[in-house]
Amino acid sequence: MEEEFYGTVKLKSGEEIFAKVSASDESNETVLLLLSPVVISELKDKSDRIKGYKVEPWLKTVDEDLILIKMTDVITVIENTNKDMIGLYDHYISSYNSRIGNYSKISKEMGYVSSLKDAVKMLEKLYNSN
């Protein structure tokens, strides 16, 4: 296995992926190992100036961190040394990992649980009593 680096991978499908990348030979075939691959999109204002970036997981319906891609599906792999992109990626990955499994189920111990209709009635009653 090759050394890991931050890289941009351009696929034959046209997709551009940013991830920690390393190469490996698997049964006489070279594959890329992508750790937490993401897609980074530019956010522009009306005058077409870049205002920021949007980071999303490349595959949204899987929980796997490590993805294998055959080199036959790749146009090019470029090591990315842009500190802003690397920082953006690292921040996204650390915040994404801290959110996983951090959800609580709603319970009555958290406070009053009601339907929307009941909540509206209660708020209207409170509003009209003042």
Architecture of domain 5-104: Roll (2.30)
Res 27 pLDDT > 60: yes
Q: Number of H helices and number of E strands within the chain?
A: 2, 6
pLDDT at 128: 85
What residue ranges do the domains of the chain occupy? 5-104
pLDDT band at 129 (very low <50, low <70, confident <90, very high): confident
Res 69 pLDDT > 90: yes
pLDDT at 77: 94
Check: CB of residue 37 under 8 Å from CB of residue 67.
yes
Q: What is the mean pLDDT of the chain?
A: 84
| Residue 119 to residue 128: CA distance in whole angstroms | 14
Res 64 pLDDT > 60: yes
